[in-house]
Amino acid sequence: MITANRTDIGLGRHVNEDQSWIGQLDNGVTLAIVADGMGGHQAGDVASRMAVDAFRSMLEQSAAKADLSLQEGKMLIRQAISQANEAVYELASRNELYHNMGTTIVAALVKQDNAIIGHVGDSRAYKIAEGVITQLTDDHTLVNELFKSGQLSAEEAAHHPRRNVITRAVGTDAHVDVDVLSVDWSPRDVLLLCSDGLSNMVTEQQMLETVASETLEPEAKADHLIQLALDAGGDDNITVVLLQEEAAGTDREV
């Protein structure tokens, strides 16, 4: 697996409250997570960092078994995000500085012929395959609920002043519902995980054109996506993670 992990504070923030991580286990499993924190007094930075640490700590151990099944993978990614929720909520409950802090999470567990995605909030996962980009996650936002119920058009939703109001987050309640799905995975597919600092500023067509480029390495693709978000205003922190199996016929070591 070849990967890229890039983040930028953006042009409108003083602190980068995004956190991300990629890990590759000896059994061939690749793990990735993006978390976009929220809360005053830099509590968003604390929430996202704690969530990533809790997720990583559990899955580096639990997902390392040799014969991990699809159902086990789904269960583990749900448990890891739930564990992250407990860690953030517990600190927020006992420390006034961190009251009501929380974070989004979008995470992936990729193994052989499938990719398992878990998410809470409005950080997104996209799959790019055969010249097509598909949004895999469904934003947990007020505006998305209004769009799905027919009260807003897609254009109105994209520019709504409250489009960043999320309806579900990690750490704000004792328990959280985690959306988990799996998709088929083949060697030439690319998985893109991002915070809304990218998806609010860069169109799917721009994402597709960048990721599908045959002249850029994954790190350069991630850097270019961040630059596109900055060029569009860069209102928020921007984080991009790319996962891609090695293309056929190459000898690159990972």
Cβ neighbors of 157 (< 8 A, separation 6 or more) are: 143, 144, 146, 147, 163
Closest-CA residue to 243 (of 8, 49, 33)? 33
Residue 100 pLDDT = 87
241 and 5 in contact (C-beta within 8 Å)? yes
* Cα separation, 108 vs 187, whole angstroms: 16
pLDDT 10s digit of each residue in the chain, 254 long? Answer: 999 999 999 998 899 999 999 999 999 999 999 999 998 767 999 999 999 999 999 999 999 888 899 999 999 999 999 999 999 999 999 998 898 899 999 999 999 899 999 999 999 999 999 999 999 999 998 877 887 888 887 777 777 777 778 999 999 999 999 999 999 999 899 999 999 999 999 999 999 999 999 899 999 999 999 999 999 999 999 999 999 987 533 443 33
CATH number of 2-244: 3.60.40.10
Q: What is the pTM of this model?
A: 0.92
C-beta separation of 106 from 34 below 8 A: yes
Domain ranges of the chain: 2-244
pLDDT tens, residue by residue, 159-182: 777 777 899 999 999 999 999 999
- Taking residue 150's Cβ as centre, other Cβ atoms within 10 Å add up to 7
| Per-residue confidence (pLDDT) for residue 246, from 0 to 100 | 72
Do 211 and 242 form a contact (C-beta atoms < 8 A)? yes
Q: Which residues contact 91 (CB under 8 A, 6 or more apart)?
A: 46, 50, 98, 101
